[in-house]
Structure 1
Amino acid sequence: MRNILVLGGTRFFGKRLVERLLQDADTQVTILTRGITKDGFGGCVNRLNVDRTDAKALAEAVGDTVWDVVYDNICYSPDEAAAASRIFAETAKRYILTSSLSVYDPGPEVLREADFDPLSYPLRLGAKEDFNYQEGKRLAETVLLTQAAFPAAAVRFPIVLGTDDYTKRLHFHIEHVLEGKAIGVPNLGALISFIRSDEAANFLYGLGFSQLAGPVNACSDGTLAIGDILNIIGQKTGREAVVLSETADQDMSPFGIEESWYMDTAKARGAGFQFLKLAEWFPELVRELATELNASLRNRE
C-alpha cells in the first residue's frame, strides 16, 4: 500500500491530483489543509487540518508516519521549505514541490532548468510575507534541493488553465471581449507557456513513480503569443478584442507580459513524460468558457 501525503489538494490541479491518486486501489491518500475549504472526498481520504506555516503544529500533525511521496502544493517561502526538510527528514521517501515558471525572468529565449540554478542561489530564510512570489519560490527550491535529506523534485509549472481555474485569468479575457471592454496588453507578440489543470495533475502523479529529481519544467507542447490568445477568443465569441497598450490597472491583461516567458521540457520528455498539444486543447477550452460566460452575462440582463 502506497502512502501519499498531499499538502493542499482541495482545489484546482491539487484536487485533480488527489482524484487521480484515488483511482489506485493500493494507495492511501492523506490531505493536509487548514480545513477551511470542503473537499468532497468523503471517506476516501484521511485529513490533517493544520496551518502548514506553523512548523510545530505541522510536525505534530504528521508525526512519524512514513510517506512514499509527499506532494507540496502550498510552499511559498524558504522558512516553510526548511521546516518541511526537518519534519520529513526521516519519513519522506520522495518529496515533490510545486514550483513555478516565475522562478525565471522573462526573456526572448526558451527557458531551461539551468537558467535558474537553485543549487548555487544564495540562501536567505524568511516567511512568505518577506518575499515576492518569485523570490519565495526560488528560495523554497533552494532549501529543498540543497538541504533536504530526502530525494526531491521541484516542478516548474507555467500558468495553469482549466474550467476549474479559481484565478479566472482566462475568464477575464473572455469576459472583456464579450462585454466590449478594452484589454491592456504591453506586448501582443510575447510568447507564453501554459498547462491544463488535469495535465498538471497527471504530471505530478507520474512524477511520484519517477526517479527524476531537481528542477523540472512541465508545460503543454507549444506556445501562444498574447495576440494569438485574443484572436482565438475573437473566433470563438464572434467578437473582436479591443486592445490598448495601457489601460486602467483593473483592465490590464493578467497575461500581459512585456517579454516572452516560455519553457523547454526536454528534461521531462527525456525521462519519458509526454505533454498535450497546446494548440489542440486551448481553443476548445476557450469555446467552453465562452459558452458558459456568455450564458451568465445574458442571465444578468
Structure 2
Amino acid sequence: MQKTGMHKADMYKAGMQKICVIGGSRYFGKLLVQRLQAAGHQVTVVNRGSTRPPAGVEHLVVDRNDEPALKAALGTRTFDVVVDQVCYTPVQAAIAARAFGGRTRRYVMTSTIEVYDPATAALAPLPVDTLVPEESVDAAAWRASTDLPWHDEAYLEAHYAEGKRQAEAVLARTPGFAFASVRSAHVLGGGAQEFTGRLAHYVERIARGQEITVHARARPTVFIHYEELADLLLWAATATDFTGPLNACSDGLLDVRDLSAAVAAQTGRRPLYRTVADGESASPFSFDRHYAMSNARAKHLGFAFSRTTDWLPGAVAETLTASAVPTL
C-alpha cells in the first residue's frame, strides 16, 4: 500500500498519551493497537477476551454491554482518549457515555459510510455527482431510541446504519467529553484478515468464471485500505482535536465494474455480469443509489489520503492468495 503523505512528526506530535481501545481484536482495530503501542502510547484494550493484545498492552476482559462490570473493570483508570471500535447501537453508546464520562477528555467512535445511505434514512437529496459531506447527517440532531430491540441480532443486522447513526447521536450529546466520529468507507485489504468476505466474493467468482450480479445503473462508491484507516484512527486519537464527524476514504471513485476489472487484471479472466434493475438485490458494492463520501474535511485538517487505484491491485492479490482459487 502507498503510504499517506502525513509526516510522522505530525502524527505523533502529542507525545505519550493514555489511550483506551474498545474492541481492537481484529483487522484495522488490531493494527491500530499495534501502531499506538509502537508510537509510545500507554494502551489499554477493553474486549471480551477472544484475542489477547500485544505484550505490554493492558487488557481488561469485560463485556461492554454489562455496565456494572465495565465500570468495575475500569476502576479508577482515566484516559486521554477512548477509541471505540465496536459501538453499534444507542444502548451501547449510552452505557459508554455513563462509564467513560469524567474518565476521558475525548471519545472517538468508528462509524461508517452507511450512515449516509438514502435507503435507510430520509436524508436531503444531493445531486448524483456530489460527494457527500459530513453535515448531511447531523448526529447531534438525530433521534436516538434505546427502547428498540437492539439486543436482537437479526434486528441489529437489518438496522446497522440506523444503529450507527443513533450511537453517534447519543455520544454527540454527552457532555462528559469531546466527541468525534470517523465515518469509514468500505474497508479492503489484508487478505484473509478482511473478515467480511466482500472482496473475496469478487475474486472467487471471477476466477471461477461465475456471474457477478450488478445493477444496470450501478453508482460509484469509495473505499479505504485497512492500513490507511488504522493510520487515520491513530491520527484522530493522538494528533488532532477535531470534534464531530469525519469522513475517511481514499481518493477516487469506483463502481462495481471498476472493482471487477481490477480483479480481472489479477485473475486473467473476464468478468461475467448478470444485470438487475434498481431495487433488486445485487453483489456487494453494487449500489443503485448514490452516497459516495467527500474526504475534504480530513484533508483540510491535515490528513493525506492515498488513491484507491494505487493500493487496490495489492489488496486483490492478497485476497487471491488467501482464497487459493485457480487463475489463468
- Structure 2 residue identity aligned to 1:240: R
Alignment match of 2:47 (pick from 33, 43, 54): 33
Distance 2:288 2:52 in 1: 37
Q: Unaligned regions of 5+ residues in structure 1, if any?
A: none
TM value normalised by structure 1: 0.91
Distance 1:189 1:261 in 2: 12
1:114-153 deviations in Å (ceiling 9; x for gaps): 1111122123224353551011000000000112420110
1:129-185 deviations in Å (ceiling 9; x for gaps): 355101100000000011242011011001111122111210110100011111111
Aligned to 1:142: 169
Q: Is the 8 A contact 2:144 2:167 kept in 1?
A: no
SS in structure 2 opposite 1:185? strand
CA gap 1:182/1:148 in 2 versus in 1, 3 angstroms? farther
Aligned to 2:235: 206
Aligned to 1:152: 179
Q: Which has the higher contact order (CA 8 A, sep 6+)?
A: 2
Aligned to 1:297: 325
TM value normalised by structure 2: 0.84
SS in structure 1 opposite 2:202? helix
Q: Is the 8 A contact 1:188 1:226 kept in 2?
A: no
Distance 2:173 2:67 in 1: 20
SS in structure 2 opposite 1:51? coil
The alpha carbon displacement at 1:187 in A equals 4.2
Matches within 5 A, 1:93-108: 93-106=105-118, 108=128
Aligned to 1:166: 195
CA gap 1:154/1:187 in 2 versus in 1, 3 angstroms? farther
Q: Unaligned regions of 5+ residues in structure 2, if any?
A: 1-15, 119-125
Aligned to 2:138: 117
The alpha carbon displacement at 1:290 in A equals 2.5
Distance 1:261 1:30 in 2: 35
Mean CA deviation greater in 131-140 or 98-107: 98-107
The alpha carbon displacement at 1:80 in A equals 0.8
Alignment match of 1:243 (pick from 273, 288, 295): 273
Distance 1:259 1:51 in 2: 37
Distance 1:40 1:97 in 2: 20
Alignment match of 1:81 (pick from 81, 84, 93): 93
**Residues 1:178 and 2:203 aligned together:** no
- Structure 1 residue identity aligned to 2:267: T
The alpha carbon displacement at 1:283 in A equals 2.1
Q: Is the 8 A contact 1:77 1:140 kept in 2?
A: yes
1:184-237 deviations in Å (ceiling 9; x for gaps): 112464101111101001000001121110011111011111111111211221
The alignment's C-alpha RMSD in Å is 2.0
